[in-house]
Every structure is written in C-alpha cells, then in structure tokens.
Structure 1
Amino acid sequence: RRWLEHAGLWPAVAAKVVSLPSSPAVVAAVREGRAEAGIVYATDAPGGAFIVPATEGPRIVYPAAAVVGARTEDARAFLAFLRGPVARQIFEAARFTHLP
C-alpha cells in the first residue's frame, strides 16, 4: 500500500485490492487469472513483469540477533555466519542485498 500511495496509484486501485495470506497465494492468483496483477517481493516472483526500483520501494530489513537465554556460543556463531562470505553469496544469489 505504501508504494501504491507513494506512486499516486492507491486511489485508482484501492477498491480492487484483495489481500491474500502469502506471496505464493498472490503469485498463484495472478497465474490462474483470478487477479489482474499482484505485488510481492521480487524474490517471490522471478521473472515478474515489473520490478519496483529499490529507490522507490520501502526499505525491508530482516534483522538477526541473539536472544536472552539462547545458547550464546551457537547464537554468536550463527550471527558470524550471516555476516560472512558464504551467507553473502547465498543472499546475493537470491537477489537480497547483504548489509554489513
């Protein structure tokens, strides 16, 4: 909705918008002709017809942190892995931006 509002499109489409429970449900609805269009993350619909430029879309961050009571050593090792080169390659292959 935020991107549609930012693009000035929300008033034209608001009455037609249907929320679905997941990105795969949105992709399926479009593929099966039950919806004219759908908005999902680019990683959920490879080959989509239109991709919102990163500068226009909302910034999406997936945080990671150790929680109180966690096995500290395991948590730190996992967080270190997420910051490392192998995870960076995995994220980039999935078209995610890896933050330092």
Structure 2
Amino acid sequence: MRILCLDIPAPGATLEHYAPHLTAEALHAWGLYKSGFIRDIYFRQDRPGVAIFLECDTVEEANNVMAEFPLAKAGLLTFECIPLRLVY
C-alpha cells in the first residue's frame, strides 16, 4: 500500500529545536529509503517540511515507523499518514 506522510510541526518548534536532531533524522530516512520502505521524499514548497511516500502494509505500520524518526521521538513533530490507491 502506498502511504503519503505529511509532517506536522509541534507548536512552537523552530529550526533551532530541530538542529541537534537533523543528522540522525537524515540517517534514519536514508536507512528506510535503502530498505524500500520510503519510496520518495520531497521538500514542501508551501512551508518548511517534508512529504514522504512509503510502501507498507497498513496505515498503522506507517504511523509506527514514522514515530521512530528522531524529530518525532523528540516531540518536535508528528506525521499524518494518508493511504493512497491507484486510479485504475
């Protein structure tokens, strides 16, 4: 199942709060990308943040994996995980 995950910054979170976690965040994302779990990552243009496309079995699995990102574990963001299907 393809899942679109959109980040939701915590109220009051700033780049200064994020900075200590960004290297770990990138390494975590890279590991998930290499495993095939993450299919695509895009920077948002409407605000700072990301849109991530996953391939997994359920939305629950997506939520559990996204909760393991360093910024999520630090309480600086959460993710909205939206299931998608092909049009045809």
TM-score, normalisation: structure 1? 0.26
Larger Rg, first or second structure (1 or 2)? 1
Which structure is higher in helix share? 1
User: TM-score, normalization: structure 2?
Assistant: 0.28
